[in-house]
Amino acid sequence: MSNHITYRASKLALIFTKEQLKEPAAFFWTLLSPSAVFYLLNYSRGQIPPYSLNYMESTSWFYAYISSNVAFFGLSFYIIGRRESGFTRSFIYKPEGKLIFLLAKFIAYSCISILYCAVFYCLTRAAFGSPNTNEIFQIIARFYFCFLLFSIPALLLTLLPTSFQTANTLFSIISFAMLIAGIYGISAQLSSGSFIQLLNPLWIASEIMSKGLWLRPQIAICTLSFFSCAFFLTLRHFRINPVWSRY
C-alpha cells in the first residue's frame, strides 16, 4: 500500500472520527447506557461500591456489547448511510477511492472503539478499587480483537442492497438476538461448549474479554484471516449507487 493512499485515508479518518464524536446520541447509547445498566444491575443485587467481584468477569458482557455496537451501528451502519446519501457516488470513482474510503472508515472506528473501551474502563473500574495500568492495556487489546470479530459480519452486511432504515432494523434484530441468546445461556447455565453459545458472537466476545481466548493462535489466525477476506470482499463488491438511485 502506497504512502499516498495511507496519508489520504488517515486524513479522511480524522474527519470521520471528529464527526462521530460530535454525535451525542451514539455516545449515549453505545457507552453511557451500558455503564448505567452495569451499576443498576449491581445495585439491584444489593451490591454497592467497592465491589469485591472480579472486574473482568463482571464486565466482560458489557465490553462485548459495546464492541458489537461500534462495529454494527458505527462502522457498518455509517458506510450504508454514506451510500444512501449519495456520498460514495459523488466522490468515489475508482478502486483507489473505494480503498481510501473503507480504510478511513475502519481506521476511524478502530480509534473510536479504543476510546470507548478506555472511557468505559474509567467509568466502571473505580468501583472495584484502584485502576491498573497493565490491566487497561490488556483490556484494550482484548476489546479491539472483539471489534475485529464483529467487523467481519458488519462489513459483509454492507454488501446487501439495504436502505439506512432497513439496516437499522436489521442490526437491532441481530443485536437483540445475540443478547437474548446470551441471557438464555446464562439463565439455563449452558456449558461453554454448547451449540447456542458457540453460535453467539456476543458470548464468544465475552469469553475473549474474561478469559483472554484471543491469545490462542488458532483463534487469532482464524479471526484475522476472516477479517481480511471480509474487507477485500467488501472492497471488491462495494456498492456505490444509493439504493434509491434509478440510474
In the predicted structure, residue 240 carries a pLDDT above the cut 80: no
Distance, in Å, from the CA atom of 144 to the CA atom of 206, rounded to the nearest integer, reads 12
Flag whether 183 is in a domain. yes
Instruction: Let me know: does 12 contact 100? Beta carbons within 8 Å.
Output: yes
Assigned domain for 45 exists: yes
The answer to the question of residue 247 being in a domain is no
Burial class (CB within 10 angstroms; exposed 0-12, middle 13-18, buried 19+) of 94: exposed
Strand ranges, E, within 13-71? none
**Is 245 contained in some domain?**
no
Report CA 148 to chain centroid distance, whole Å.
7
* For range 219-227, the mean pLDDT: 87
Tally of CB atoms within 10 A around 179: 16
**Per-residue pLDDT tens for 30-81?**
777 888 888 888 788 777 777 777 888 888 888 998 999 899 888 888 888 8
Asked if residues 60 and 209 have their Cβ atoms less than 8 Å apart, the reply is yes
Record the cell numbers describing residue 227, joined without a space: 477479517
The answer to whether residue 246 sits within a structural domain is no
Asked if the structure places residue 243 within a domain, the reply is no
**In this structure, are residues 149 and 200 in contact, taking their beta carbons and an 8 Å threshold?**
no
- Check residue 56 and report its DSSP letter: H
Task: Give me the percent of the chain exceeding a pLDDT of 90.
Answer: 22
The pLDDT score that the predictor gives to residue 247 is 47
**pLDDT tens digits, residue range 101-126?**
899 999 999 999 999 999 999 888 88
Tell me the DSSP string of 149-178.
HHHHHHHHHTTS---HHHHHHHHHHHHHHH
- Do residues 174 and 95 make contact, with C-beta atoms less than 8 angstroms apart? no
Percentage of the chain lying above the pLDDT 70 cut = 84
Cα separation, 91 vs 93, whole angstroms: 6
Report pLDDT for 86.
67
pTM equals: 0.86
Residue 193 CB partners (closer than 8 Å, separation 6+): none
The alpha carbon of 110 is separated from its chain's Cα centroid by a whole number of angstroms, namely 9
Query: Number of structural domains, the chain?
Result: 1
Determine the residue type at 125.
R
Average pLDDT, the chain: 81
> Among 17-31, 85-99, 189-203, which is the least confidently predicted range?
189-203
Domain that holds residue 28: 3-237
More confident residue, 1 or 28: 28
